[in-house]
Amino acid sequence: MVFDTLDQAIHAFEVLSAGSNARSFSELVLKFFPFVLLLELPLYLLVVAGIARYGVRRLRRDQQREKYPSVSCLITCYSEGDDVSKTIGSLAHQMYRGHIEIIALIDGAVQNKDTYLAATSSLAAVNALPNRRLIVLPKWQRGGRVSSLNAGLSIATGEVVMALDGDTSFDNDMVAQATRHFDDPNVVALAGCLRVRNAADSLVARLQALEYMLSIGAGKTGLAEFNIINNISGAFGVFRTSFIRNMGGWDAGTAEDLDITMRIKQYFGQNPKLRIAFEPHAVGHTDAPTSWRVFFRQRLRWDGDLYYLFVRKYLQNIRPGLLGWRNFLFTLVNGFLMQVIMPFFIVFYTGLMLWYLPLGSVLGVLAFVYLIYLASVILFFLLYVVAISERPGQDIGYVVFLPLVPLFAFATRVNSALSLLQEAVLKSHLDSSMAPWWVLKKTKF
């Protein structure tokens, strides 16, 4: 029995490796999954080309600066407690010549008294520093992240505004690294680079740290070179204040980070010179879930929000006249095909294999896909460490976890299919921790 299964696995692997045309339905089934996998190859090649372009441009970059725009840091706080003091401190002690205004927005300050008191305890120390100012704005009734960000935007005085999470800390050159991009008048927003601060706490945290390096650190570096950034993280987004005010600030609903990214891109069709930048060396550190249960619950919300935004809210707005051709095509491929449709393909095909093929053939297919995926991940990771990472000595230690990345990616894709289905059937975005139900129920979508 074991030897029969092994023979089937070897035969399936040989069929996939041979590259010949399928001669039967079983071979057609065998070849379909790797074909789906190869749909990701153009995206990988695009990102790699962008990284190479970034490396060349970085060598030529002039480090001299004359402009130091004033910055307003909007810190959205809900239940961070003493951790908000660390965030405020990391912003107050930035190595930056310009003025930094820190606005701590305490959402639901009545029930979050600890967070409010922690923020106010930093007032005297921060306001005593030159070119630094701390404002603590309590919102006594909870209204959600969007409500907090818009409240902060209404009183912000900086030329550049940062939307930051209350439990995220930052490298002390973050503001300097981020704001230099706004010397270009066409840059209207910037996506900051996030790292996992508690990676050593568990295996799932380490895998998320790797995911952040590859998808944010490497992925967005490459995409930014072609002005097709997929998302400005809600935990670390930077915006030109005048532009974001002219847009009307953030919109109610959920997934406010992808939402604001989509809304900004709707100006690109008529204004093709506008850009969303990315700076891999403007680094924020955030905590990731340390248990598999919490991780998958978080991704249920994240991936469900993709369906909500792409299908429910912005389906009619995804057209080249608004987004421009490059962002229109990228949204179709990366947004719809890779993020919304592909998870269902993977789940359907895996089920089809298990139903139609012998166990050995299934194992052979999965082994083939695993090795191809692992090889691409290794090359991509090494490119990131050499060309992008600001902590290469630290990051190279993650190489021992790379064999787990294909398995981790498969698990997240299966979970993504469940998330998308849940949103399509149950409208799960209306039950979000990002805002109270009475706010979400009043939105159009």
DSSP string, 236-281: EEEEEHHHHHHTTSPPSSS-HHHHHHHHHHTTTTT-TT-EEEEEEE
- Which residue, among 83, 68, 67, 75, has the nearest Cα to 134 in the 3D structure? 75
| Least reliable range by pLDDT among 152-156, 166-170, 254-258, 345-349 | 254-258
What is the percent of the chain with per-residue pLDDT over 90, rounded to a whole number? 56
What CATH number is associated with residue 180? 3.90.550.10
140, 109 contact by CB (below 8 A): yes
Number of Cβ within a 10 Å radius of residue 234:
21
How far separated are the first and last CA of the chain, in Å rounded? Answer: 54
Question: Is 344 within the bounds of a domain?
Answer: no
CB count, 10 Å around CB of 344?
14
Mean pLDDT, residues 137-154: 89
Task: Give me the pLDDT at residue 43, please.
Answer: 83
More confident position, 190 or 348: 190
Does the pLDDT at position 198 exceed 50? yes
Q: Does some domain include residue 105?
A: yes
Q: Is residue 39 part of a domain?
A: no
pLDDT range class, residue 223, cuts 50, 70, 90:
very high
Q: Is residue 77 part of a domain?
A: yes
**Which residues, in sequence order, are CB contacts of 76 under 8 Å at separation 6+?**
105, 107, 145, 148, 149, 152, 163, 164, 165, 166
Kindly give, in sequence order, each residue whose CB lies less than 8 Å from that of residue 49, ignoring residues fewer than 6 positions away. 222, 225
Q: Which residues of 297-313 are buried (b: 16+ CB within 10 A; e: fewer)?
A: eebbbbbbbbbbbbbeb
Q: Which residues of 77-86 are buried (b: 16+ CB within 10 A; e: fewer)?
A: bbebeebbbb
pLDDT-derived band at 429 (thresholds 50, 70, 90) equals low
Query: For 73-90, how does the pLDDT look when each residue is reduced to its tens digit (9 = 90+)?
Result: 999 988 788 888 989 999
C-alpha distances (whole Å) from 194 to each of 290, 337, 374 are: 17, 25, 23
Two structure tokens written together for 88: 């405020």
φ/ψ of 442, rounded to 5, equals: -90, -5
Whether 285 has a pLDDT exceeding 80, the answer reads yes
Tokens of 321: 């006249």
* Residue 163 DSSP SS3: strand
Whether the predicted pLDDT of 282 surpasses 50? yes
Residue with tokens 């810190």: 75
- The residues with which 327 forms a beta bridge, in sequence order, are none
Whole-angstrom distance, CA of residue 70 vs CA of residue 160: 6
3-class SS of residue 130: coil
Our count of domains for the chain comes to 1
User: Among 196, 163, 167, which residue's Cα sits nearest to residue 178?
Assistant: 163
Other Cβ atoms closer than 10 A to 273 = 10
**Which among 424, 269, 411, 408 is positioned nearest to 340, based on CA atoms?**
424
pLDDT bracket for residue 36 (50, 70, 90): low
Q: Decide: residue 192, CB within 10 A, 0-12 exposed, 13-18 middle, 19+ buried.
A: buried
Residue range 324-382, pLDDT digits in tens: 999 999 999 888 888 888 888 888 888 877 887 777 777 877 887 888 889 889 999 99
Tell which wins on pLDDT, 30 or 267.
Answer: 267
Reported as a pLDDT band with limits 50, 70 and 90, residue 33 is low
Q: Sorting pLDDT into bands at 50, 70 and 90, what band is 244?
A: very high
> Is residue 283 in some structural domain?
yes
As a whole number, the mean pLDDT across the chain is 86
Q: Is residue 117 part of a domain?
A: yes
For the cut 70, the answer to whether the pLDDT of residue 433 exceeds it is no
- Predicted pLDDT of residue 334: 87
| Angle formed by the axes of helices 342-356 and 25-38, nearest 10° | 150
- Per-residue pLDDT, 20: 47
What is the structure's pLDDT at 16? 53
Phi, psi for residue 193 in degrees, rounded to 5? -95, 130
CA dist., res. 419 & res. 413, Å (int): 10
Is 337 inside any structural domain?
no
139: containing domain: 65-297
Torsion sign across C-alpha atoms 295, 299, 300, 301: positive
- The stretch 48-73 carries a mean pLDDT of 84
Asked, for residue 104, whether it belongs to a domain, the answer is yes
